[in-house]
Chains A and B, each alone.
Chain A
C-alpha cells in the first residue's frame, strides 16, 4: 500500500492530540508503519491545531507534503480552509459542521460555499458536535464520531476492531465506554 496521508485539524481543546494517539496505535495494531506530527504549547491555546498522520509500508517524513493528503478530517469549519495546500482534487474532506467563532470569523455560508465549490464530490459535512451533544451530552467527542464515520464509511484503510483496540491503550478506562459509543454512532449512517 502507498503511504496514506491524513491531516487532522481543528482548534485547541477539541481533543485532537488524543485522536492522533488513537490513530497511531490503531495503525500499529493493523501492522502499518506510522508517523505523526503534532504541536503543543502556545499554538494549542485556543489557536489553530493541525496534525499530520502518515501510515503504510514504510514512512519517512512525519509531515504530509503539499497536495498529498488523501483525507482531511476537520473538527471546525473554518480551520478546513487553512489546509488547502495539503489538498488536491483527489482529497476527501470529512468536516464537522461546527464553528468556534472569533471576531472577524467568516460567515458560515461563505465557508460552505467555498468548500462545496472546490471539494465538490469529495465532501462529507456532518453535524458531529450536535449529534454528540444530543446523544451523549459531550460535544468534545465530535472528533471520535468523525473517526467512526471515516472508518465505517471506508474513507480510511483502518478496521473498526483496530481502532477499538487502540481505545483500550489510549483512553483511560472511565472514559472508554463513552468514546466507544461516540465511535459507533456513525456505524449505521
Chain B
C-alpha cells in the first residue's frame, strides 16, 4: 500500500484507519463530534469498494452492521455519545454473540457539551455494562492506529471494539502517516447459519455470558502486552501520572511548563485495563495523579488496584480536577502543583489580560439568514395569541431547538431525540393545557414515530408540528429517508411524513409551505381545538441548502427538486 503523510482531522483519521484495515460496510447516524466519518465515507465509499449508509437511528445502524458482520463483512458504526444509549439494547447481546467479521464502533463524546444538549455523557461507562473492549485515542495519529488495531483485536477475539473519542480528539487536526487503500470492488459476503451463536435465547444466553467472560480474561492478557499502553518519563520518581485520551497531552504539556520529569502511564485501553502494568507502575510511588475527563472511572479502578499492591499510595484525581467540563493544560498545572506541594502562581509565565468590560454579551447560536424557522416561530406565537403563557411547547433535537433561545423562547422542555413526542403526550394527558410539540424531519424519523403512535393509541391531543426542511441540517446536511437520496447518492422513494402520520392513525393532518403564514396560522388555530392528535408538516427547504443548491450545479443535479 502507498504511504502518505497529511494533516487530518481525528475523524478523517478514523476513516483512513478503517479503509486501511479493509472495512466493507459502514453504518451510523450523524451527530457531533462524529458526523464527518459517515460524510467522508459518503464521498469515497464507491471509489474504495465500501458500502456506506445513514441509518434512521443508531440502534438500527448497529443492527445493520451486525447483519454485515454475521455475513462476513468488516464493519464500522459511527455515532455521537448519545447514540450509544440508543443502540445499547442491541449492543449488550452483541457482546454475547460476538462478531463473525470484525467490527469497530466509533462513539464521539463531547465534554463541555459544545454541541450537545441532553447531558455531559462519559460513554466509557458502557464498557462495564456491555463488557466490550474500549480504546481511548488522544490524537489523529492514534485515531488511525487505534482504528486499525481495533479491527485486529475484533478479529482475534470475535468481539466488537468501541473506539471512544472526544471533541478535542475528533476535531483535532494534526499530521498523520497512513497507508492508502487501493481502489477495489465491493464484494458481498455470505451469511453462514449459526443459530447457536447468533440467537440469545435462554438457557443458551447464560452460556454465552460465561463464554464472554472467558474471552475477556484472554483480552486482559493481551492488554497487558499492548503497545497502546505506554510509560514515559523518569521511572524512579515517587510521584507519577496516569492519563488517558487527550488529557495525556495536557499532562505532558503541564510537565514541560513546570520543568518536571515525572513518569506518565498513558492508557490507550480503557477496558479491559492492564491491571498488572498499573500495579507495577504504582509500586513504590507515594502519589499518583489520575488525569481523565468527566467521570472518575480510572481513578476508582486504580484505587482498587492500589489496595492490593501499594495501599499507602495517595491517589489524586477528581479531588483536584473537575468532573464537569473539559480539562486543559492550566488545570493540570494547578493539580500537579497541589500534588507536588508547590505554589501554582510560580508556573504562570504571563499575566492574563483583562478587558475593562464587565460583561461581554453572549452570542447564542442563531437561525441562519433566510431560515424558514424565522417565519415559523412567530406564526406559531401569533396563532396562539393571548393563550401563549398557558400553551406548553415541546422541543426536540436539531436546528429547531433554537426555538428555546432568544428572541424566540418557545421551548418548555428539551430531552433526547424524539423525546418531545412522549413528554408532550404525558403533559397532554396530565393537564388541561394545550401542548404544541415541535420536531424536525430527521428527528421524526430517528425516534419520533413511536411517540406519535403512542399519543394516538393512548388518546392524547398534542399538536405536532414537523419542521421538514428536507435534510438533517444541524449536523451539516446529511441525507434522511424523507428526501429521496441515500448517503452514497442513490435515488430512493421519499418517505412522506404525512403518510407515516396517517398510517399511524393521525386523523388531522396538513402539509403546507410555512411562507403561507395565513394558511399556517389558520391550521394551528383549527388543530388546537381538536381533542385528538394533529400533525402539521411545514415543508420548506433549509436556507443554507437552498443557497448551496443555487451556487452549485453538481449539488442541484444530485438532489434535484427538494
Residues of A in contact with B (beta carbons under 8 Å apart): 11-13, 20-21, 24-25, 28, 33-48, 59-63, 65-68, 78-79, 81-82, 84-85, 87-91, 102-106, 110-111, 114-115, 117-119, 169
User: Can you spell out 27 A-B residue pairs with CB atoms less than 8 angstroms apart?
Assistant: A25-B7, A34-B173, A35-B139, A35-B172, A36-B174, A39-B167, A41-B32, A44-B365, A45-B365, A45-B366, A47-B363, A60-B249, A60-B253, A61-B249, A62-B174, A62-B246, A63-B328, A65-B253, A67-B348, A67-B352, A68-B350, A78-B360, A78-B361, A88-B349, A88-B350, A114-B355, A117-B356
5 more A-B contacts (CB under 8 A) besides A25-B7, A35-B172, A102-B366? Answer: A36-B174, A43-B115, A44-B365, A45-B367, A118-B354
B171 within 8 A of A: yes
Once bound together, how far apart are the Cα atoms of A130 and B402, in whole Å? 30
Q: Please pick, from B115, B257, B354, the residue contacting A42 in the complex, using a CB distance under 8 A.
A: B115
Once bound together, how far apart are the Cα atoms of A65 and B222, in whole Å? 37
Residues of B near A40 (CB, < 8 A) are 32-33, 35-36, 115, 171, 476
Q: Please pick, from B7, B329, B356, the residue contacting A118 in the complex, using a CB distance under 8 A.
A: B356
Q: A47 contacts B364, CB within 8 Å?
A: yes
Residues of B near A33 (CB, < 8 A) are 175
Q: B363 contacts A66, CB within 8 Å?
A: no
B residues 310-354 in Cβ contact with A at 8 Å: 328-330, 333, 348-354
Number of interface residues of B (CB under 8 A): 56
B309 within 8 A of A: no
A24-B7, A67-B350 are contacts. A45–B399 as well, Cβ < 8 Å? yes
B residues 3-33 in Cβ contact with A at 8 Å: 5-7, 31-33
B406 within 8 A of A: yes
Q: A41 contacts B356, CB within 8 Å?
A: no
Residues of B near A169 (CB, < 8 A) are 6
Q: A47 contacts B32, CB within 8 Å?
A: no
Once bound together, how far apart are the Cα atoms of A59 and B329, in whole Å? 12
Residues of B near A12 (CB, < 8 A) are 365
Q: Please pick, from B36, B354, B355, B363, the residue contacting A11 in the complex, using a CB distance under 8 A.
A: B363
Residue among B6, B329, B399 with most chain A CB within 10 A: B329
CB distance from A94 to the nearest CB of B (A): 15
Q: A90 contacts B350, CB within 8 Å?
A: yes
Residues of A near B354 (CB, < 8 A) are 84, 118
Once bound together, how far apart are the Cα atoms of A48 and B311, in whole Å? 48
CB distance from A25 to the nearest CB of B (A): 5
Q: B32 contacts A42, CB within 8 Å?
A: yes
Once bound together, how far apart are the Cα atoms of A63 and B252, in whole Å? 13
Q: B475 contacts A34, CB within 8 Å?
A: no
Once bound together, how far apart are the Cα atoms of A110 and B356, in whole Å? 10
A65-B253, A102-B366 are contacts. A88–B355 as well, Cβ < 8 Å? no
Residues of B near A102 (CB, < 8 A) are 361, 363-364, 366
Residue among B116, B366, B402, B476 with most chain A CB within 10 A: B366
Bits for B258-285, please: 1 = Cβ < 8 Å to A, else 0: 0000000000000000000000000000
Q: A85 contacts B7, CB within 8 Å?
A: no
CB distance from B232 to the nearest CB of A (A): 11
B357 within 8 A of A: yes
Residues of B near A111 (CB, < 8 A) are 357
Residues of A near B35 (CB, < 8 A) are 40-41
Q: A34 contacts B171, CB within 8 Å?
A: no
Q: B353 contacts A87, CB within 8 Å?
A: yes
Residue among B35, B253, B356 with most chain A CB within 10 A: B253
Q: B355 contacts A81, CB within 8 Å?
A: yes
Q: B114 contacts A41, CB within 8 Å?
A: yes
Q: B171 contacts A38, CB within 8 Å?
A: yes
Q: A65 contacts B352, CB within 8 Å?
A: no
Q: B330 contacts A115, CB within 8 Å?
A: no
Once bound together, how far apart are the Cα atoms of A155 and B466, in whole Å? 50
Q: B172 contacts A36, CB within 8 Å?
A: yes
B407 within 8 A of A: yes
Closest chain A residue to B329, Cβ basis: A65
Q: B173 contacts A35, CB within 8 Å?
A: yes
